[in-house]
Structures are given as C-alpha cells and as structure tokens.
Amino acid sequence: MASASALDIHVRQVTKAYGAVVVLDRVDLHVQAGEFLTLLGPSGSGKTTLLMMLAGFTRPDSGSILFGTQEVIRLAPQKRDVGMVFQNYALFPHMNVAANIAFPLRLRKTGAAEIARRVEAALDMVQLAGYGARGIDELSGGQRQRVALARALVFEPRIILMDEPLSALDKQLRELMQLELRRLHEKLGTTTIYVTHDQREALTMSDRIAVINKGRIAQLDTPRHIYSKPNSRFVAEFIGESTFLNVAVTGGVCRYRDTVIKAGGAPVRDGRCLLMIRPEQVRIVDGAARDGMNCFDGRIVGRVFQGDTMRIEVDLGGGDAITLRVPANSVGLQSLPDGSDSITLGLTVADTTLLPDER
C-alpha cells in the first residue's frame, strides 16, 4: 500500500552518452506511488546510471524526470527527498553506527533530541537496536547493510533507491534480507526502485520488473508476466531457463519441421519465429495422451541430478534439443525411460509461447 506521501516517478525520453557510448537511450518509465519496481539487467546495461540520475548525482543529456508533478533534473541531490543505498554501502568508517545514521538529519539541521529519537527508531526498524555506539568495522556485512538502509530511511524520504544492496552478502543472508526489505517496503509504503542483476531476487521482491538491455527498457511487467510471457529472446534468456526451437509461420499456421504447432497468446506474423520452452513446462507424454499437446519425439542424451529436480536433455535430432526438469523423487522419475530410450515430450497449447526471431 502506498503511504500518503509516496510519489510517482515519470522518466521521459532520458538519454545519456559518455563520448560515443550511449548508456541510456530514450528511456521512458513510469513508477507508481508506493510501488516496488526493480531494474533488472546485465552488467553495463545502464542500471546504476539511471539510479544516479534519479538521485541527482548524474544529469541526463536530454529528457525529463518528474517526482509527482515536479521536474527534478536541475534539483540538487539533498533537495530531492530521496534515500539511497549504494552497492558498497558507502558508510563513513570514522563515525559510529548512530553518527552514520544521523548524518542525513544533521545535513537537514534537525534538532539533537529529534535526531536521537529518529536514530533509535531507525535502528529498531532494521533490527539493530543497541548497536548505535559500535564502530563500522565491528559489524558484519549484513549488519553494515542494515546501517546503510537505516541511514537511507531515517529522514523518511518519499522515494528510496537501492543499487544492488545485497550483492556482497552470502546466499542465505541475501534471501533473508530480500524478504525483510520487502516487508519493510510494505510497512513504509515508500516508492522504491531497486537495482539487481539477479533474476531470482527481482522475481522475489518486485511489484513490477523493468528488464533493461543496452540502455533501453526491453520489457516492463509483473514478475509473473515477465516470466511466462517474455516479449523477446533476450528477456526469456535473462529470466528463467529456456530452450528455443526455430519454427516457421506461414498463412498464420506455425510448424516445427512438418508438425503443426498450436500456440497460446497473440497470433504472430508470418516468417521465422522462436518457440520458447521452459524446462518445468515440458511434460513426458505416453502414446495415448497426445491430444491437445504439441509433441516432440527425441532421445534422452543427458540427465543431471540437481537436488530437488533432475535436469534432462532430450535430443530431437538435427541439432535441436529440449531441456526439461522433473521432480527428483520417485513420482517424477517413474515416468522417465531408462538410458537413451526414445521419449515423447509434450507442451500444452497454453504453455506454447512464440517469440519474434530477432536475428
């Protein structure tokens, strides 16, 4: 739920180049008030640059950024009412925890009693009550991350920006903090933009995900839609696992080799297309149950035990392969032939997704 003071953000046609390198290319983005939106993309795609523009540390070459109805391009960072958590935390090593958290309040000339009260509340919020007098070098990575978060929250900003705040933490702590940050967001209702290159993190935390590629937003949608209905091979490969088969569409009919493929979703234009196949959507079909399925015959050429699932590679001949996952328990494996036996795989029409072939 959005808090009363949460702001929406309009990024319009924002462009930034360093020399001949265009880092952001006419980016349009609308973030709703109180939303948790994640910028997800590979290293070098422009995520940090976009965040720095929202924070006010980098100015775009052209375009507009509105917080609510206010144009902020010429506004200094401390006047934007934005809390920022940097990738490396950027804590002041010579100040203790309380002084670090108090810093933005001192910048704003808050009174001493009010500072003390707010710092206590911020420490509470990130579950570090009693840590105010500690030195930064006495804290673990996870605790430093919480101090950085408390410092970003302490002045009750209307917008919170976070640049890969969990990337230095080990997996277990990272997953714990993902849920904690999400809980905190729900409590505060502040408009939040979160940067990560970790697709699972983005899926776990976000209301919506903006997938960014080479300075452009490739797709903006809910985690569920981004995963199930990617609009391009780039998005499909970046989020989740998938294999692709080349198919041809003529007269509105899609064929893989000579077999007609029925696809869910919007019709695609005639020409070459890609059939996207998610490993967990593939079913193992026995001869009788082909009805209503798109079927592919092949041979098992590899199987890898991965704990909860078994990853199976099926060769369709002619250089094509499909990867599937079955639960690594007896139920999942019962239906699986031994050795390099032939196998028929099926995909329901609803799970059959066609993508434009960009290359």
Provide the binding-site residues for ligand ADP, judged by CB under 6 A: 18, 23, 41, 43-49
Q: Which residues pair with 221 in a beta bridge?
A: 209
Strand partners, 39: 195, 210
Residue pair 210/37 in contact by the 8 Å Cβ criterion: yes
Indicate the residue whose CB is closest to Mg ion.
Answer: 48
Which segment (48-56, 143-151, 166-174, 345-353) binds Mg ion by CB under 5 A? 48-56
Concatenated DSSP letters of 259-277: EEE---SS---SEEEEEEE
Q: Is residue 244 within a helix (H) or strand (E), and if so which, with residue range?
A: strand 243-250
CA 322/CA 276 separation, integer angstroms: 10
Nearer to ligand ADP, 44 or 265 (CB): 44
Parallel, antiparallel, or unpaired: how do β-strands 36-40 and 208-213 relate? parallel
Query: Of the two residues 52 and 65, which places its CB atom closer to Mg ion in the complex?
Result: 52
Minimum distance of ligand ADP from residue 117's CB (angstroms): 36
Residue 5 phi, psi dihedral angles, 5° rounding: -95, 0
Nearest-approach distance from CB 217 to Mg ion, in angstroms = 16
Residue 87 CB, nearest approach to ligand ADP (Å): 9
CB 39, min distance to Mg ion, A:
9
Residue 305 contacts which entry, Mg ion, ligand ADP, none (Cβ below 5-8 A, type-dependent) = none
Give the binding range for Mg ion (CB under 5 A) out of 46-54, 143-151, 170-178, 202-210. Answer: 46-54
199 binds, among ligand ADP, Mg ion, none (CB under 5 to 8 A by kind): none
**147 within 8 A of 126, measured Cβ to Cβ:** yes
CB of 18 to ligand ADP, least distance (A): 3
**Among 15, 28, 10, CA closest to 69:** 10
The DSSP H or E segment spanning 159 is strand 159-163
Q: Does 48 participate in binding Mg ion (rule CB under 5 A)?
A: yes
Choose the one of ligand ADP, Mg ion, none that binds residue 172, judging by a C-beta under 5 to 8 angstroms depending on kind.
Answer: none
Q: Which is nearer to ligand ADP, 34 or 41 (CB)?
A: 41
* Residue written as token pair 């092949």: 298
Which residue type is seen at 306?
A: Q
Tell me whether residue 49 or residue 228 sits nearer to ligand ADP (CB atom).
49
| Residue found under tokens 């699932």 | 309
How many CA within 13 A on the CB side of residue 37? 24
Residue 41 or 60: which CB sits closer to ligand ADP? Answer: 41
Residue 43 CB coordination number (10 Å): 7
Query: Both tokens of residue 234?
Result: 């780039």
Stretch that binds Mg ion, among 18-26, 41-49, 78-86, 93-101 (CB under 5 A): 41-49
Q: Is the Cβ of residue 48 or residue 228 nearer to Mg ion in the bound state?
A: 48
Residues 278-297 that bind Mg ion (CB under 5 A): none
Q: How many residues bind Mg ion (CB under 5 A)?
A: 1
| 191 near Mg ion, rule: CB under 5 A | no
Instruction: Give 46 or 279: the residue with its C-beta nearer to ligand ADP.
Output: 46
- CB closer to ligand ADP, 47 vs 174: 47
Q: Which is nearer to ligand ADP, 196 or 281 (CB)?
A: 196
Give the number of other CB atoms < 10 A from CB of residue 30: 13
CB-based contact 70:56 (threshold 8 Å):
no
β-bridge mates for residue 284, sequence order: 345
Q: By CB under 5 A, is residue 38 in contact with Mg ion? A: no
User: CB 47 → Mg ion: shortest distance, Å?
Assistant: 5
Q: How far is the CB of 4 from ligand ADP (least distance, A)?
A: 32
Pairing relationship of beta strands 293-305 and 342-348 according to DSSP bridges: antiparallel
Total count of residues recorded for the chain: 359
User: What are the residues binding Mg ion (CB under 5 A)?
Assistant: 48
